[in-house]
Structures are given as C-alpha cells and as structure tokens.
Structure 1
Amino acid sequence: MRSCSWIPAFAGTTIAFACAFSAQAGIKVEKYAEGVYVAVRTEPPGLMFDANVVFLVNDEDVVVVDANLTPSSAKESIAALRAITKRPVRYLVNTHWHIDHVGGNATWREAYPGIEFIAHTSAREDMLKTGETNRKAFLEGGGGFAKQLREKVQKGENFAGKALTEEEREAYLADATLVESYLREGPAIEAVLPTLAIDGRFVLRRGERVIDIRHLGAGHTAADLVVHLPNEGILIAGDLVVFPVPLVGSTSYPSAYAATLGRLLELKPKLIVPGHGPILRKDDHVWTTMRMLEALASQVGAAVARGETLEQARRSVHLEKYRATLVGESPQRELIFRSYVLQPGIEAAYNEAKGKKP
C-alpha cells in the first residue's frame, strides 16, 4: 500500500487453486519452472493492491517471496502452497516494507513456526515509522474511499465525471473489496519485523537451487530487494516492476529508480515476476518504465535548477510519450498513471532533486 490520495484527482501452467474475478478476486497459481510457483493476484489494475506471492519449493523446505496484504489473503496463499507441498517454509523474503507485502507476515509465522523473515536493513525502521503512519492514515481514510468507489459504481460514473466503463466498474469493485478487507483486519495486524536484514546481497543455496537476494539500489522505496534465480532465468522484482502502470509513489526515488532498473536489466532475466500484474516474458515494459523515470527525474531536476516550486515543476513535466505507451485509451490506467506517477511521483522526484528523503 502506497501513499495515494483517497479521492484520486503471461503465460504459465495453472496447477492449483484458482479464483476468477467477480466482486471479489483471489489468486491463480502458476508453475514456471521446477519448484517455482507464482500465486498471481487476479484483481484488475486499480488503486488498491495485494501482492503476487512466489513459492520456491526446494528439496527439503520452501522459500516464499512476499506475504500479502491481510491475514485472509495470506491464508489463501498458504492454502495454495499446502496444496503443492507439505514441506516447511524456512524463509520469507519481504521485497519491501509496504503493507501489501508484509501484512501477512504474522499469519505465515503462525502457519510455519521458526520461519525467518528477510528484508533490507532499512525496512525495520520504515515499517515502524512511515509504515505505521501510513497504516493509521489508511484506517482513518479508507472507509470514505471505499464508500466513494461503491457510489461511483452505483451511479455509473467515474472520477472524471464520465460514464463508467466495464473495466472501471470491475476495478472500483475490486478496490472497494480490498479496502474493506483491510479495514476489517488491519487494526489487529501485527508488525512482524525482519529477523535477517541484508544491505547488499544474500545468497541461499537449497540443494541445486541458487536463490540470489539483492538490493540493487533505491527505487520504489529505499529498501527494495529482488530475488534472482540464475539457473532458471527468473527474476522476482517486487514493486520495482509493476504492470500495467508503474507505481512510482511518494516513497520512491525516481532518479535512483531508473538506475536500479538498469542494473536489474543487466541480469538479463528470461521471465520477470512483478509485484503486481501478470508474469512478463519480455523486458520492454521495464525499459519503458526506466526511460519514463529518467525523463521524470531529468525534467524535475531541471525545474529545481531553475528555482521552480513544486507546483511550477508539475506544469514543467511532460510524459505524454510514456503515458501513451502505458495507458493507451484506458481511462482506468489513466487514473492509475495520474494517481501514482503525475501526483506523488513528481513530488518524489522534486524531493530527490532537493536532497530530501520521502
């Protein structure tokens, strides 16, 4: 879950546990290599998120990547994993500290006592400070957002005051359902902190499998980890990569983000697991995201050098080329682009150019 205004201005083998989208969504579990399974969330792209979860089933144990938003969605992933294997989960990697990736930590710990949680060294402080502040704000403001979403669906009107498309209707309902789920469960969610903190690189060897956990640099947050499976050619990217629209957000570092994606591309993955969205077998979306971030950082940096205020800088930024590629004709994708790139993303780039932390 990222800071966002409450009133917004693919291939694989399905092997177990599927739930198609109705008013509620779930997961679709797909196998991509021997012992490598991804529980892909089935919500349509929206403003509210739950995370894709990866199961690495090894000879004697399991390594999981990311923990879901709520206890209920974590239990859904745990049930899917237990349908695959009875082996214990030894490690769970939190790719970063946002609640949609760590909210299920306590549920995983309850299901697998002795589990170790791996995260970046700064994640502990982020979870306790910014994460807790964002959690409280969400619990206070989320109810109004969910109500507004359902009212928009009832009226058949989008946030721009135009007729609601079917794509928007499904997204609004999915967003409302996720918000309401978190409002029910969020107050009781325990912040489970990392037991193993890494700063640069940590390699696990589980039988023949090499699990290379890296911090490639700041990006979506300062604490983003990726999990590289070099033998399989698979990269688990967390929210450094999100499809269809990148989530830049208020806790991002756009200039560093672009450089981090460059290092990610140097790993030459054959398959990328994004934090949200379907599996990517091509890297063109990552290249587009990187080029957009470079343009964003460059234009905002130039605005800062000219002495412009944040609001002046907003008017100086022109990302139409990238908007066209990422958004197309979709009003729903346009809403996401505006809510995560043009609003908090520009502010994040402005703060970064001025040397301020998010």
Structure 2
Amino acid sequence: MEGRWVEVADRVLVRRYAELDLSVGLVVGDGGCLVVDTRGDERQGAELLAEIRRVTRDPWTVAITHSHFDHSFGTRPFLGRPVWAHEGCRADLVENGDRARDEWSRYYRDLGRADIAGDIARTEIVPPDHLVTDRTRLVVGGRPIVLAHLGRGHSGNDLVVHVPDAGVTFAGDLVENGAPPAYEDAYPLEWPATVAALLDLIDSLDPPGGGPGGPGGAVVVPGHGDPAGRAFVVAQHAEISALAGLCERVAAGLLSPSDAVRLSPYPEETTRIALGRVGHR
C-alpha cells in the first residue's frame, strides 16, 4: 500500500508506509473526515495531510491511537481542528515527549538515517486537545465513530477507533500483523483482557449482517501491517494470552525465564522484553 490509499470498506481508506510498516486511516463522510494517526514527525504529517487533500477537501477530525512517536508526532500540520486521544496519551506526550523525540532522533542517526533523525529533532510535539477517558461517540461527516479505551496493552493509553457503519476497527498497536507485538512499553498481564474487549467491541458494534463480506467479515486495521479480519485478532489474542501466562509463572517462581523463552509463541527478544515489563505500573 506504500504511496496509495486502499479502500477497505465504504469510504474507509488505509495508507501504508514502508518505514516501520505503518498504517494510517481516513474515514470520509459528507462534509467531514476522520484521520487516524498522523505519522512520526512534522514533515511526515504534512505529507499525509497533502495526500488527504487529494481525497477530500472537507474539514478533518484527528484520532490518535496512542502516544508512541510513529503514530502521534506528525500532528502539528493538523492543528486548528479537534485532535482526540486517550487522556493518558496527552499526559505521556507532555511528560515524556521531548525525551522520546531525542531518543528516536538518536536511533535514526545511529542507523545512518540523518534525514529522518533531523526531521524528528525539528518536530514540535503537539498533545491532543480532546480527551477520552473510557468511551466517546462522535459523528464525523454524518458517520458514527466510537473511540474506546479498552484497557492497557501495547501502551498505557491505547485507543481504538471503530466505524460501525462500515464494520472497520482501527486497533492501533493492540494488534500487529507481520511482526510480533511490541512489548517495550507494554502491560503484558493486562494485554489479553484488552484484546478480548476489542473483540467484544467488534462483535457488539458491527452493522447488521457483519462488516464487509457478511457476518464475521469485520475489518481490523493494525497499527502496523496488513488489514486483517476477526479471526486474526482471535489468533493473536491466544498468543498474547499464552505469553501472559508464562510471565505470570516466571513472576511466581514456577518457571525459569529460559523455559519461558522456549515455550513462548514469540521470539526470544520479544519474550524477554515482556518478562521485564511485569510489575510496571
């Protein structure tokens, strides 16, 4: 999907980027549109806005799925219109945004990507100005939108964006396709319950007859990787539940970390990071 929009349901578009295999979204209505995530720096955000303007000239509303740089640092070009996110997203950007900007700029510089490093370093971090605590319902361009914080998982401020009339859910990094879930900032013992709540949301808010393709045809857009269906989320829920169980056994002294690595559905690095996150508040 690099460089072009793909319509995954009626006027619901996904745009993919090779850098970090990132997916962003656009929901087009009548007289308004919803932008899901703004990419990783101010220049990337401006590029995204230019591409949105090729699709629609209507005013936008923004929803940020979580505070990590690749989803939220491109917000400044979108100022002047509402920017929605979980309240913890704002708190994290205010408290830790400058540090994250420095860390990611240094990361790309060490990779030899001075262009990306410079773009991140020059970015002004803009916190959201409309906050969700639990669940908020919007109407954007005549289309109903549900913003829901279902619990902690990939981060402490994950927000899912559901488009009921299309059967599409933007899951952020609660779901990841093509790579193991990222646990660096995660809550591994809570993540399974959050994804279970995501499945309940999909089931409860899908239009009659299901999403695209009929019953069970809901589309789930991960923060990274190809759009998928409900079955993919069920399979990933089983994997993160298995890893959560291993984390609990290690924390209780019933299993060694090396045995957890051997039994894990994910690679060693992912598993050890998850083990190290147990107990974080």
- Match of residue 85, structure 1, among 44, 56, 72: 56
User: Residue by residue, what CA displacement relative to the aligned partner does 1:241-272 show, whole Å, maximum 9, x if unpaired?
Assistant: 11112333221011211111111112236101
> Can you give the 5+ residue segments of structure 1 that lack an aligned partner in the other structure?
1-17, 19-25, 148-178, 324-336
In the alignment, is the contact (CA less than 8 A) between 1:70 and 1:181 conserved in 2?
Answer: no
- Residue 259 of structure 1 pairs with residue 193 of structure 2: yes
Give me the TM-score of the superposition, normalised by structure 2.
0.87
In the alignment, is the contact (CA less than 8 A) between 1:50 and 1:101 conserved in 2?
Answer: no
CA 1:64 to 1:207, structure 2 compared with 1: closer, same or farther past 3 Å? closer
- Residue 322 of structure 1 pairs with residue 275 of structure 2: no
CA 1:240 to 1:181, structure 2 compared with 1: closer, same or farther past 3 Å? farther
Give me the TM-score of the superposition, normalised by structure 1.
0.69
- Residue 346 of structure 1 pairs with residue 280 of structure 2: no
Q: Percent identity?
A: 26
In the alignment, is the contact (CA less than 8 A) between 1:300 and 1:316 conserved in 2?
Answer: no
- Residue 126 of structure 1 pairs with residue 60 of structure 2: no
Tell me the number of residue pairs that the alignment of Structure 1 and Structure 2 aligns: 267
Deviation, structure 1 residue 233: 0.8
Query: Aligned equivalents of 1:322 and 1:284: distance in 2?
Result: 17
Largest Rg, 1 or 2: 1
Provide the residue aligned with 1:289 in structure 2.
236
Provide the residue aligned with 2:248 in structure 1.
301
Provide the residue aligned with 1:62 in structure 2.
33
In the alignment, is the contact (CA less than 8 A) between 1:292 and 1:319 conserved in 2?
Answer: no
Deviation, structure 1 residue 208: 4.2
- Match of residue 98, structure 1, among 62, 68, 78: 68
Query: Aligned equivalents of 2:121 and 2:172: distance in 1?
Result: 25
User: Residue by residue, what CA displacement relative to the aligned partner does 1:187-220 show, whole Å, maximum 9, x if unpaired?
Assistant: 1111101111111011012354110110111110
Deviation, structure 1 residue 319: 5.8
> Can you give the 5+ residue segments of structure 2 that lack an aligned partner in the other structure?
207-217
- Residue 225 of structure 1 pairs with residue 201 of structure 2: no
After TM superposition, the structure 1 = structure 2 runs for residues 1-358 of structure 1, keeping only pairs within 5 Å, are 26-41=2-17, 43=18, 49=20, 51-89=22-60, 91-109=61-79, 114-144=80-110, 146-147=111-112, 179-206=113-140, 208-266=142-200, 267-268=202-203, 270-280=218-228, 282-306=229-253, 313-318=256-261, 322-323=265-266, 337-339=267-269, 341-348=270-277, 350-351=278-279, 356-357=280-281
In the alignment, is the contact (CA less than 8 A) between 2:242 and 2:265 conserved in 1?
Answer: no
Deviation, structure 1 residue 338: 4.5
In the alignment, is the contact (CA less than 8 A) between 2:178 and 2:225 conserved in 1?
Answer: yes
User: Residue by residue, what CA displacement relative to the aligned partner does 1:295-336 show, whole Å, maximum 9, x if unpaired?
Assistant: 22211211221288xxxx53131465734xxxxxxxxxxxxx
CA 1:197 to 1:292, structure 2 compared with 1: closer, same or farther past 3 Å? same
RMSD: 2.2
Give the residue type in structure 1 aligned to 2:258: R
CA 1:234 to 1:141, structure 2 compared with 1: closer, same or farther past 3 Å? closer
SS at match of 2:77: helix
Which has the bigger relative contact order, CA under 8 A and spacing at least 6?
A: 1
Query: Aligned equivalents of 2:132 and 2:262: distance in 1?
Result: 35
SS at match of 1:122: helix
